[in-house]
């Protein structure tokens, strides 16, 4: 019973927890850097979700072996290809966010959200 | 050349974006002309594609690299997507011309960076409306968002903070959209929009489909700043760089609204239980947003902030049109996307023009500007009347279609909301008009002056053209609806 749970739906619960943890971090953390890290955790959750969709047991790389054309023997490569794009998007989002953070730090000398807001309204 | 028009719409601005940074090192003026020329080509391609599609009477499927769908990515131009592409490229062309007044003072790196980001933003928005692939739409959504964050940060220190907060919230929205794609892919195994529309109907009752709809509402709701997911929007619109704000405020929020219409009415069946309930919920939230957005706009002292809150209300109209869901409601929603893109762009162009001359954003400081900037203020007055909904300006007709749709669907509450919000619009716009035309002149220091016109020619022309555009859209509204928009709704003969 527990073995069945672990092998079937457990991974989806983990992904859901990871996703919610990320959103919670974005909402709850006061430090802008921590918010950014929480955002990355959330994006990783989505990426793992797609990779799990592609997964099959007893399947191998999507490269033809010995003329075997039965698709049940190969994992689906499409979600991996999509996620490569999503990783690039996530990388560039993080890059832009870090550049913005450097500007904020330089101008307001703080990356705690309430400090920044206080100095902004002064 | 003619067969490649759908690709040109997206590829030309993208290549020009790569080019303009390097060109800017050689000559700043040349970089600006590269951007304007690229947008002009995109605009002409969009018009050409739309005309060909309307003449053919069938959507145009363009296969990238000759890969057959559903394996390859295809671009689809139908009357809705084509009309949106024409709208986006038109507004961005004129905003690019307008940017000249500000970019004159940048150094070469800033000029090149500005036009690169501007073109990337336009590329992303144009790509979203012409693509026929759901994952490709996500990529273009992120291209436009990333360029948008950077352009908001261009506006200065407050802009940087606003951009960072928008980046966090916007990424949550994009991730939700991506999750929704994951669910769709898991149940259908396809990413092509036409293919999905065929595969989905038997799966409409599945709980996975329910999750998809919820994810899409959150994703697009955040991106289009639908109430109550609009928290990022007032700061982002007010502190964006004044040269780019017209495009960001006018067009960037409308394209996710277009995507929502595409999903709910073309890919999902709007008659299925899940989608109709979802649209009802969105309609109620939007109705609440219309009232609250308008009241918040009355409370603002900063002109740009007032416009930003009024955008929350105006996005509400589009969603209400979707919630009404019959022919008139949808025509109203699509017409309002077009009209509001024109109105909000012009209002932000005016705000930028005033800021260019006086550096002020406060409504009080607009007192008696009619003497100093007569043409700009005339354009503002046309916009204000259009936002309130006084014929023959464009804003009247989209509200008219929405009300017709609501009467036909027996949804009287929406009529009350639309009429009430028009009154609230009148309060906050007439307050500005009163300041401009009836107040005593006050001493406002000018940071820049311009001879012989009130603004440099490249800033004044876009303001006047878009201001006149609102009147043209209003006067020729019937032919626009019967020639183009009638075919743009589902079951409209396409």
- pLDDT reading at B302 higher than 80: yes
pLDDT of B139-152, one tens digit each? Answer: 999 999 999 999 99
Name which of A26, A53, A107 is nearest B185 (Cβ-Cβ).
A53
The pLDDT of B287-304, averaged and rounded, is 91
Encoded tokens for B122 = 């336009």
How many C-beta atoms lie closer than 10 Å to residue B198's C-beta?
Answer: 12
Q: What is the largest CA-CA distance in chain A?
A: 71
Distance of CA B386 to the CA centre of its chain: 17
Give the pLDDT of residue B173: 93
Closest-approach residue (CA) in chain A for B179 = A46
Give the pLDDT of residue B493: 56
- Test B175 with A89 for CB contact under 8 angstroms: no
- Test A79 with B158 for CB contact under 8 angstroms: no
Cβ neighbours of B149 in A, within 8 Å: 96, 100
User: Which domain covers residue B315, as residue numbers?
Assistant: 2-488
Give the pLDDT of residue B180: 93
Between CA B477 and CA B336 the distance in angstroms is: 11
Q: Which domains does chain A have, with CATH numbers?
A: 2-121 (1.10.287.3510)
Minimal CA–CA distance to B142: which of B306, B255, B12?
Answer: B255
The pLDDT of B366-389, averaged and rounded, is 86
Encoded tokens for B211 = 């999750």
Contact B312, B225 (CB under 8 A): yes
Give the pLDDT of residue B483: 83
pLDDT of B68-99, one tens digit each? Answer: 888 888 999 988 899 999 999 999 999 999 98
Distance of CA A10 to the CA centre of its chain: 18
Look at residue B494 and tell me if it is in a domain: no
Residue B54 Cα distances to B217, B291, B478, B481, angstroms = 31, 38, 17, 13
What's the start-to-end Cα distance of chain B, in Å? 25
For residue B412, the surrounding DSSP H or E stretch is helix B412-437
Which residues in chain A land under pLDDT 70?
Answer: none
Give the pLDDT of residue A37: 93
Name which of B146, B168, B179 is nearest A26 (Cβ-Cβ).
B168
How many C-beta atoms lie closer than 10 Å to residue B37's C-beta?
Answer: 14
DSSP letter, residue B363? G
Q: Which residues of B touch A (CB under 8 A)?
A: 135, 138-139, 142, 146, 149-150, 153, 157-158, 160-161, 163-164, 167-168, 171-172, 174-175, 178-179, 182, 185-186
Look at residue B224 and tell me if it is in a domain: yes
Q: Which among A29, A31, A86, A102 is the top mutation candidate for probing chain B, defined by the most B β-carbons within 10 Å of its own β-carbon?
A: A86
Q: Is the dihedral of CA B274, B275, B280, B284 positive or negative?
A: positive
Q: Which among B142, B161, B166, B236 is the top mutation candidate for probing chain A, defined by the most A β-carbons within 10 Å of its own β-carbon?
A: B161
Q: Which residues are within 8 A (CB) of B190 and not within 5 positions of it... i.e. 6 or more apart?
A: B70, B196, B199
- Test B153 with A103 for CB contact under 8 angstroms: yes
Look at residue B162 and tell me if it is in a domain: yes
- Test A100 with B163 for CB contact under 8 angstroms: yes
Cβ neighbours of B139 in A, within 8 Å: 85, 89
DSSP per position, A31-46: BHHHHHHHHHHHHHHH
Confidence label for B273 from pLDDT (cuts 50, 70 and 90): confident
Q: Which residues are within 8 A (CB) of B439 and not within 5 positions of it... i.e. 6 or more apart?
A: B367, B368
Q: Where are the alpha helices (DSSP H) in B61-156?
A: 79-98, 100-103, 108-130, 134-153
Phi then psi for residue B227, to 5 deg, are -55, 140
Q: Which residues are within 8 A (CB) of B298 and not within 5 positions of it... i.e. 6 or more apart?
A: B424, B427, B428, B431
Look at residue B493 and tell me if it is in a domain: no
Cβ neighbours of A49 in B, within 8 Å: 179, 182
Supply the mean pLDDT for chain B.
88
Cβ neighbours of B168 in A, within 8 Å: 26, 35-36, 39, 97
Closest-approach residue (CA) in chain B for A88 = B139
Confidence label for B494 from pLDDT (cuts 50, 70 and 90): low
Give the pLDDT of residue B1: 66
Share of chain B above pLDDT 90, in %: 43
Confidence label for B290 from pLDDT (cuts 50, 70 and 90): very high
Closest-approach residue (CA) in chain A for B166 = A97
Instruction: Map tokens 């000029």 to a residue.
Output: B111
Cβ neighbours of B138 in A, within 8 Å: 86
pLDDT of B313-362, one tens digit each? Answer: 999 999 999 998 888 889 999 999 999 999 999 999 999 988 888 888 88
Q: Where are the alpha helices (DSSP H) in A8-112?
A: 10-28, 32-54, 78-108
Cβ neighbours of A93 in B, within 8 Å: 142, 146, 167, 171
Closest-approach residue (CA) in chain B for A86 = B139
Look at residue B347 and tell me if it is in a domain: yes
Report the gap between the CA of A53 and the closest CA in chain B (Å).
Answer: 7
pLDDT of A29-45, one tens digit each? Answer: 889 999 999 999 999 99
Cβ neighbours of B185 in A, within 8 Å: 53, 79
DSSP letter, residue B3? G
The pLDDT of B22-28, averaged and rounded, is 88
- Test A120 with B161 for CB contact under 8 angstroms: yes
Cβ neighbours of B174 in A, within 8 Å: 89
Look at residue B261 and tell me if it is in a domain: yes
Give the pLDDT of residue B318: 92
Between CA B44 and CA B285 the distance in angstroms is: 38
Name which of A53, A79, A96 is nearest B167 (Cβ-Cβ).
A96
How many C-beta atoms lie closer than 10 Å to residue B202's C-beta?
Answer: 7
Give the pLDDT of residue B447: 79
Look at residue B154 and tell me if it is in a domain: yes
Encoded tokens for B199 = 């595969």
Task: Give the least confident one: B201-205, B211-215, B283-287, B297-301.
Answer: B201-205
pLDDT of B129-187, one tens digit each? Answer: 999 899 999 999 999 999 999 999 988 888 899 999 999 999 999 999 999 999 999 89
Share of chain B above pLDDT 70, in %: 99
DSSP letter, residue B249? I
The pLDDT of B450-464, averaged and rounded, is 84
- pLDDT reading at B3 higher than 90: no
Give the pLDDT of residue B189: 85
Between CA A119 and CA B77 the distance in angstroms is: 49
Give the pLDDT of residue B57: 82
- Test B182 with A26 for CB contact under 8 angstroms: no
ipTM: 0.93
The pLDDT of B371-386, averaged and rounded, is 88
Contact B97, B462 (CB under 8 A): yes
* Total domains, chain B: 1
- B324 or B368, greater pLDDT: B324
Count CA atoms within 13 Å of residue B364 on its CB side: 3
Between CA A96 and CA A88 the distance in angstroms is: 12
Closest-approach residue (CA) in chain B for A98 = B164
The pLDDT of B232-237, averaged and rounded, is 90
Between CA B281 and CA B284 the distance in angstroms is: 5
Count CA atoms within 13 Å of residue B26 on its CB side: 9
Instruction: Map tokens 């993080």 to a residue.
Output: A94
The pLDDT of B306-313, averaged and rounded, is 91
Q: Which among B172, B189, B215 is the top mutation candidate for probing chain A, defined by the most A β-carbons within 10 Å of its own β-carbon?
A: B172
Minimal CA–CA distance to B245: which of B308, B302, B296, B190?
Answer: B308
Q: Is A51 on the interface with B (CB under 8 A)?
A: no
For residue B167, the surrounding DSSP H or E stretch is helix B157-188
């Amino acid at each position: 019973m527990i073995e069945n749970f672990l092998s079937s739906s457990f991974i989806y619960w983990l992904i859901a927890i990871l996703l919610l943890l990320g959103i919670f971090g974005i909402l709850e953390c006061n430090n802008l850097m921590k918010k950014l890290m929480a955002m990355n955790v959330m994006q990783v959750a989505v990426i793992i979700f797609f990779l799990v969709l592609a997964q099959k047991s007893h399947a191998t790389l999507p490269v033809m072996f010995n003329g075997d054309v039965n698709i049940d023997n190969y994992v689906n490569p499409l979600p991996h290809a999509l996620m490569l794009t999503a990783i690039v998007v996530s990388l560039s989002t993080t890059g832009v966010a870090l550049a913005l953070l450097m500007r904020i730090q330089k101008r307001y000398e703080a990356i705690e959200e309430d400090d920044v807001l206080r100095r902004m309204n002064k | 050349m003619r067969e490649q028009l759908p690709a040109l719409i997206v590829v030309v601005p993208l290549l020009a974006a790569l080019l303009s940074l390097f060109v800017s090192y050689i000559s700043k003026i040349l970089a600006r002309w590269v951007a304007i020329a690229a947008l002009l080509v995109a605009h002409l391609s969009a018009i050409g594609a739309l005309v060909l599609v309307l003449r053919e009477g069938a959507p145009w499927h363009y296969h990238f690299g000759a890969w057959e769908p559903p394996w390859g990515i295809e671009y689809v131009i139908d009357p809705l997507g084509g009309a949106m592409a024409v709208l986006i490229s038109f507004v961005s062309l004129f905003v690019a011309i307008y940017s000249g007044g500000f970019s004159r003072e940048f150094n070469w790196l800033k000029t090149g960076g500005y036009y690169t980001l501007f073109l990337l933003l336009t590329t992303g928005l144009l790509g979203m409306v012409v693509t026929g692939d759901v994952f490709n739409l996500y990529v273009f959504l992120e291209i436009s968002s990333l360029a948008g964050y950077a352009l908001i940060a261009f506006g200065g220190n407050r802009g940087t903070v606003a951009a960072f907060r928008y980046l966090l919230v916007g990424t949550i929205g994009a991730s939700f959209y991506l999750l929704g794609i994951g669910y769709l892919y898991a149940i259908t195994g396809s990413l092509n929009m036409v293919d999905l529309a065929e595969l989905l109907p038997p799966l409409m009752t599945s709980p996975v489909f329910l999750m998809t709809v919820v994810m899409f509402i959150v994703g697009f709701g955040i991106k289009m700043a639908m109430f109550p997911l609009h928290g990022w929007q007032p700061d982002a619109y007010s502190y964006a760089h004044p040269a780019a704000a017209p495009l960001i405020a006018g067009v960037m929020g409308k394209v996710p609204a277009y995507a929502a219409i595409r999903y709910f009415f073309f890919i999902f069946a709007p008659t299925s239980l899940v989608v109709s309930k979802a649209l009802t919920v969105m309609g109620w939230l939007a109705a609440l947003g219309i009232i609250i957005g308008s009241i918040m706009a009355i409370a603002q002292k900063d002109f740009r902030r007032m416009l930003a809150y009024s955008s929350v209300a105006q996005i509400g109209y589009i969603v209400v049109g979707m919630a009404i869901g019959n022919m008139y409601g949808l025509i109203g929603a699509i017409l309002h996307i077009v009209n509001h893109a024109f109105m909000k762009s012009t209002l932000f162009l005016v705000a930028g023009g005033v800021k260019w001359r006086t550096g002020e954003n406060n409504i009080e400081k607009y007192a008696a500007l009619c003497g100093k900037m007569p043409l700009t203020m005339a354009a503002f007055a046309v916009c204000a009347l259009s936002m309130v909904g006084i014929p023959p300006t464009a804003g009247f007709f989209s509200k008219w279609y929405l009300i017709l749709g609501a009467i036909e669907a027996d949804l009287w509450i929406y009529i009350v909301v639309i009429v009430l919000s028009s009154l609230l619009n009148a309060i906050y716009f007439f307050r500005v008009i009163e300041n401009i035309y009836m107040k005593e002149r006050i001493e406002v220091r000018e940071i820049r002056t311009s001879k012989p016109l009130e603004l440099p020619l490249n800033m004044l022309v876009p303001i006047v053209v878009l201001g006149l555009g609102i009147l043209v859209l209003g006067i020729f509204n019937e032919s626009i609806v019967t020639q183009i928009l009638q075919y743009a709704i589902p079951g409209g003969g396409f």
